[in-house]
Structure 1
Amino acid sequence: MEKPIDDTLPPVWAGYTASAWMIVFAAMSFYWALGGTAGINTVSLGQELAGDPWFITLLWLTGILKIGGGILALALVQSWGQQLPRQLVLILAWGVSVLLVLHGGDFIIQGALTENGLIGFPAFAAWTTAHWQTFVWGPWWLLGGIAFCAATWNYQRRSR
């Protein structure tokens, strides 16, 4: 006989995972924005654009957005999140979830197509960028998206 699902303990692991994922990713953006170069050559055009003012601005902006995403993920599992308008939280959380999954999937598909010679990067992009997109960044974005989807789903079920 199957055990019934225990809904008395909300599954919060996904929200904390999504938040931690966002914070780690934000730290990378801030590191690169402050002039750090370790790993920047793994990002498409990263090495070529390091130090460029608009690229630095973009890194700061994405870092701030990622911090916002980390806070949103916490709102899905913390009691203070219940004080926020439910519909707004759901729209934002599902939006972030979809964007992360699509971006990760896009990286994996583009990387796989590049790896198989079906498409190519511009001549000035590093060859190893395709490997990083396919095997590191794509799965990393996908992982964040899956965690966000699970956290959003759990929030939606609990907050009816």
Structure 2
Amino acid sequence: MKINYWFITMGIVWTIIFAGMSFYWAMGGMLGVKSLGGTIYEMSLNPDHSFITIVWLTGFIKLLGVILLLMLLIHWKKTIISETLYYVTKVVGILLFLYGLLNFITISLSVFGILDFNLDSYATFWRLIFWEPFWMIGGVFYFLAVKKY
């Protein structure tokens, strides 16, 4: 397995920013929440304890990506570990990218009236311009962090 330090670094930075947003929102910050739209925005206006707990948990779950990327920097003696890390990193990259892409497609379809979502125009704009591409960029960072010899 060959690692790409630049994409690992960018993936770590992306992941920390991504997790940091969750921690900020879990502490009550509201900057950027309206851009998410829908139920998440509505729940954030008057959050109950379980919602805040879930937001904290998502932040910690996101940080697992940093651990995954840092594990790529270790020279493992057992090739099974390196191979597993390779495939897990590739799959995570693909899933992050597909999540953003599929959301981008479905939100775009709602713009054209083909699908109906509970997103106002503000959230729709930010989801298409920032959030969904942000997911896809993260997927690219993870996917390109490793390659076969």
TM range (shorter): 0.7 to 0.9
Distance in 1, matches of 2:120 and 2:40, equals 9
Partner of 1:91: 87
Alpha carbon RMSD of aligned pairs, Å?
A: 2.0
Question: Is 2:43 aligned against 1:43?
Answer: no
The answer (yes or no) to whether the contact 1:109–1:134 under 8 Å persists in 2 is no
Deviation at 1:81, TM superposition (A): 5.5
Change (3 A) 1:69 1:149: same
The answer (yes or no) to whether the contact 1:108–1:135 under 8 Å persists in 2 is no
* Equivalent AA in structure 2 for residue 40 of structure 1: V
Matches within 5 A, 1:52-67: 52-67=48-63
Distance in 1, matches of 2:69 and 2:31, equals 28
* Equivalent AA in structure 2 for residue 17 of structure 1: M
TM-score between the two structures when normalised by the length of structure 2: 0.84
Question: Is 2:126 aligned against 1:137?
Answer: no
Any stretches of 5+ residues in structure 1 without a counterpart?
A: 1-8
Larger Rg: 1
Equivalent of 2:24, from 14, 22, 31?
Answer: 31
Deviation at 1:14, TM superposition (A): 0.5
Question: Is 2:140 aligned against 1:146?
Answer: yes
The answer (yes or no) to whether the contact 2:4–2:146 under 8 Å persists in 1 is no
Consecutive aligned runs of 4 or more in structure 1 exceeding 4 Å deviation: none
Partner of 1:112: 108
- Percent identity between matched residues is 31
Equivalent of 1:103, from 92, 99, 105?
Answer: 99
Query: Aligned residue pairs: how many?
Result: 143
Structure showing greater relative contact order (alpha-carbon pairs closer than 8 Å, 6 or more residues apart)? 2
Deviation at 1:140, TM superposition (A): 0.5
TM-score between the two structures when normalised by the length of structure 1: 0.79
